[in-house]
Amino acid sequence: MKNSAIAFIICITLFSISSCNKGKAADDVNSKKQPETETAVSPNVVNKKAVTTIDTADYNKRMLHLSNKDTTGRWPVKTPYPLNGAILPYHRIIAYYGNLYSKRMGILGELPRAEMIQKLQGEVAKWQAADSTMKAIPALHYIAVTAQGAPGKDNMHRMRMPFKQIDTILDWAKPIDALVFLDIQVGHSSLKTEVSELEKYLKLPQVHLGIDPEFSLKNGEVPGTKIGSFTADDVNDAIDILAKIVRENKLAPKVLVIHRFTQGMLTNYKKIKTVPEVQVVIDMDGFGSKILKRSTYLSYIYREPIQFTGFKLFYKNDTKNNPNGLYTPEELLKFTPKPVYIQYQ
């Protein structure tokens, strides 16, 4: 990687860290403390080939549990049943996010490998202790395409990371049986183009996808100067590619994580496809005080249901000038619905 390329990465980290802090006042939510019996789901099921049937009664029970006694009819969302081998709702994913070229884009690149892995495993253990009804599993969520302030050679305002860096993340994940998410910030490019570039990795059973509307600028703006957006059509392009990969390679469903912290970041949400091959998670990506984060979750995640929900925690930005610190697993399990994907930056 040339020095100029590294400079691009450092520049865009300022954009990544400075976002995600909008929302409205929140209402109270109810806690569900009723335990469920855990059925036998192998920890390695996420890495096996899929067959086409699941225990639908068990699936329904788990989805109802995640809805946390929601009475509005929004949750659980009625969607097609997933292929067998689905990660959700049988597991809760605990992910560390970042990029290896920058210590400012997330915990994944901030700490040395051994220290980072140990800290991640500690978070997994906390979540497992907080909710014994769902197996907590680790994940490394790596930013494989970063938006850029400079246009670059092809004028796309994005930079694709070298495949050798993705290979490094895969190597780090293997000893702890972690999932790997490849995250895309498209800049002026498109999801169809950028997801297709990563197909050789998405064919691996342990590799899944993250997409970030914040850095999708459709009208020529420079990333970081304005919050971007994805339409349902954009998201469906990614879903179509993932579904095709799953079918052609006889894989278990892929998980698609979509970051969100404003209304405009995701439009026409009702038109987003739900298919047996892909499990869609809307990840609440805002930072700030607990009250602000909770109101963001209520405003943009709870009220516009798609399938599953996630919650992002910022080790630094959530605790800066906030004496109450990070949300604990026990606190987040009181949310409606309960998040099944937890990301730490």
User: Which portions of the chain are predicted below pLDDT 70?
Assistant: 1-52
- Per-residue model confidence (pLDDT) at position 283: 97
C-alpha pair distances (Å), 61 with each of 57, 133, 333, 341: 6, 12, 17, 19
Which of 181, 185, 176 is closest to 119 using CA atoms? 176
Q: 49 near 251, Cβ under 8 Å?
A: yes
3-class DSSP assignment, residue 17: helix
Alpha helices in the chain (DSSP H): 3-17, 56-67, 107-110, 113-130, 163-173, 191-197, 199-202, 232-249, 290-296, 329-332
Angle (CA) 312-79-268 rounded to 5° is 65
- Per-residue model confidence (pLDDT) at position 53: 79
Which of 70, 123, 82, 100 is closest to 252 using CA atoms? 82
pTM: 0.85
